[in-house]
Amino acid sequence: MDKPKEEEMIPQIKPENSLPEDQGPITKEEPTDLSSPAPAAAPESILIPKELKPQTKVESPPPPPEKPRFRINLPKGRGVKILAGIGLGLVILLGALAIPAYTIYGKAMKVKAAALKLTEAAKGQNIDTIKTELGSTKTSLAELRNSFRLVAWTKFIPFFGLYVRDADQVLKAGTYGLEAAEITLVTIEPYADILGFSGGKVQGIESDGAKTAQERIDFLVHAIPDLVPKADEISRKVTLARQELANIDPNRYPVKFRGQPVREKIRKGLGQVTEVATLVSAAKPLLEVSPYLLGIEEERRYLVIFQNDKELRPTGGFITAYSVMKVDKAKFEPVSSNDIYNLDDNYRPSLTVPDPIAAYIKGPYTLSKGWRLRDMNWSPDFGESMDLFSQEAAKAGIKGVDGIIAVDTHLLVNLLDAIGEIGVSGFGNFSTKIVPECDCPQVIYELESFADTEGPIVWSQTEPGKIVYAPPNYDNRKRIIGPLMNSILANAMGQPKEKLP
């Protein structure tokens, strides 16, 4: 059989860069002969996919961070029971507070209304109405305290309990205050007519004003022994009220609430309670010594010194004048008054002036270091200064005084504010009206003008001892003091009941 011819075989088309079938994988690249010409580039086969060249990439912004999702992991089983128990407890707690709070609020409004009525009754000075409203206020406060016991357990809750304790202490203090007022009312009731209460007429209204006021004083002086024991009871109640309020700190409260001041009102109220407690505590000793001071058993004499508070000295002002006043069975009467310089003229200094006085008040101490009476209020301890002054003033004729009273221009202005304008025979009228000359009360301006003695004193050359000219009031710049005091006392004794302190 004849073999097929090689040229009759079907040719196989293979890519020129394909490897021979019997050639294994290339493990090492043969070195290229650079001297030989480079073979022509083979045409690119359509069977091989084209390689895409990389292009410039445009980076897109990073995706926004994923928002955390709020998930509630509801407890299951036992956790549900615990949560339900807490919720039920809160509901019960709110109910336990809300219901009593509503009741307490209503009782508090009732106390407020009763207190306002009591205040109006006190202004009207009707003792029967005051007694009625006082009892009503006391009853309303007792009801409020009983209702407050429903929330008393909250005093032990941190933070919130502080305010509950404060409220409880205010209620207790209010109770003590009403009890003190009740004792006071019972004490003064027998003397209500004398004091101008009960809406009736003051005893002795048919007589002149001075006699009426004097009758009031006489009656009250004889009632002092009955008032002293009651003063102890009143003082105890007021002291208890102050002790209840002592632990309240105003700084725990806001400055304002809904536009209304809170902290300042609390601070002011606490201060007023302290002032009343101090006043009441000092009342008993004063009542006990008042028979002596008012000369009930025997006449008393007092040296009244006038200090000019516009010229400062350790005890309050420069001693400008003095007056001697006698008190006999609560009746006041001026004895004499004079300028302090006239008193110094009758005094022969026996003590050496302290160095600071001589250094700063050089005028009178340039030639002599003898201590003048007018400068003896050197110690800020009033008692110490007056002991020295009274001891030395006795050498100038001021003897037999039972006490020394110092007054200044503030007292004078306060008295005239209370009793109004007064007239002083030979000197004119005096009031507290502000005058433009000094922008001060008229009485102060007139006193300063009266005491102004600037100018020379001219003596007669033909008649020895005769003064031809002298400035006004040169001989006694303060002789107005006595008549002024007398007029003040007379007017004070005649004041109507509305101005009785």
**340 contact partners, CB below 8 Å, separation of at least 6:** 305, 319, 320, 321, 322, 373, 374, 478
C-alpha–C-alpha distance, residues 227 and 287, integer Å = 8
Report whether pLDDT(57) > 90.
no
C-alpha–C-alpha distance, residues 134 and 140, integer Å = 10
Q: Exposed, middle or buried by CB within 10 Å (0-12, 13-18, 19+), for 174? A: buried
> Residue 295 in contact with residue 329, Cβ under 8 Å?
yes
The DSSP 8-state label assigned to residue 48 in this structure reads S
| pTM assigned to the model | 0.59
- Report the pLDDT averaged over residues 362-384: 89
Pairing verdict, β 300-308 and 260-261: unpaired
C-alpha–C-alpha distance, residues 410 and 343, integer Å = 24
Give the least confident one: 190-194, 367-371, 455-459. 455-459
422 versus 69: which is more confidently predicted?
422
Residue of 217, 447, 482 lying closest to 333 (CA atoms)? 482
Give the least confident one: 100-114, 203-217, 390-404, 406-420. 203-217
pLDDT per position as a tens digit, 153-210 = 888 888 888 898 999 999 999 999 999 999 988 888 877 776 767 644 444 444 444 4
> Residue 190 in contact with residue 143, Cβ under 8 Å?
no
C-alpha–C-alpha distance, residues 351 and 455, integer Å = 31
Strands of 138-284, DSSP E? 256-257, 260-261
> Residue 186 in contact with residue 275, Cβ under 8 Å?
no
Q: Which tokens in the block code for residue 421?
A: 């304008």
The DSSP 8-state label assigned to residue 421 in this structure reads -
**N-term to C-term CA, the chain:** 165
Q: Which tokens in the block code for residue 59?
A: 């980076």
pLDDT per position as a tens digit, 461-497 = 676 656 666 666 555 556 677 677 777 777 776 666 5
Strands of 224-273, DSSP E? 256-257, 260-261
- Report the pLDDT averaged over residues 429-434: 90
Rounded to 5 degrees, what angle do the CA atoms 407, 412, 416 make? 155
With residues binned 3-state (H G I as helix, E B as strand, rest as coil), the percentages for the chain, rounded to 5, are 50, 10, 35
Pairing verdict, β 300-308 and 403-408: parallel
C-alpha–C-alpha distance, residues 87 and 84, integer Å = 5
How many Cβ atoms sit within 10 Å of the Cβ of residue 441?
20
> Residue 500 in contact with residue 196, Cβ under 8 Å?
yes
Report whether pLDDT(45) > 60.
no
Q: Which tokens in the block code for residue 414?
A: 């306060």
C-alpha–C-alpha distance, residues 169 and 245, integer Å = 6
Residue of 488, 481, 486 lying closest to 305 (CA atoms)? 481
C-alpha–C-alpha distance, residues 365 and 353, integer Å = 8
**Residue 158 φ/ψ, nearest 5 degrees:** -55, 145
Q: Exposed, middle or buried by CB within 10 Å (0-12, 13-18, 19+), for 255? A: exposed
What pLDDT does 379 receive? 93
C-alpha–C-alpha distance, residues 295 and 298, integer Å = 5
* Mean pLDDT across the chain: 77
**228 contact partners, CB below 8 Å, separation of at least 6:** 284, 287, 288
C-alpha–C-alpha distance, residues 18 and 25, integer Å = 12
Percent of the chain beyond pLDDT 70? 68
The DSSP 8-state label assigned to residue 445 in this structure reads H
- DSSP secondary structure of 60-120: PPPPPPPPPPP------THHHHHHHHHHHHHHHHHHHHHHHHHHHHHHHHHHHHHHHHHHH
Report whether pLDDT(137) > 90.
yes
Classify the phi-psi angles of 150: left when phi > 0, otherwise alpha if psi is within -120 to 50, otherwise beta: alpha
C-alpha–C-alpha distance, residues 114 and 181, integer Å = 15
Report whether pLDDT(123) > 80.
yes
Q: Which fold has domain 300-499?
A: Aminopeptidase (3.40.630)
The helix or strand, by DSSP H or E, that contains position 209, with its residue range, turns out to be: helix 209-245
pLDDT per position as a tens digit, 258-310 = 888 999 999 999 999 999 888 888 888 888 888 888 888 899 999 999 888 87
**498 contact partners, CB below 8 Å, separation of at least 6:** 196
The amino acid occupying position 171 is: L
Report whether pLDDT(240) > 70.
yes
What pLDDT does 230 receive? 86
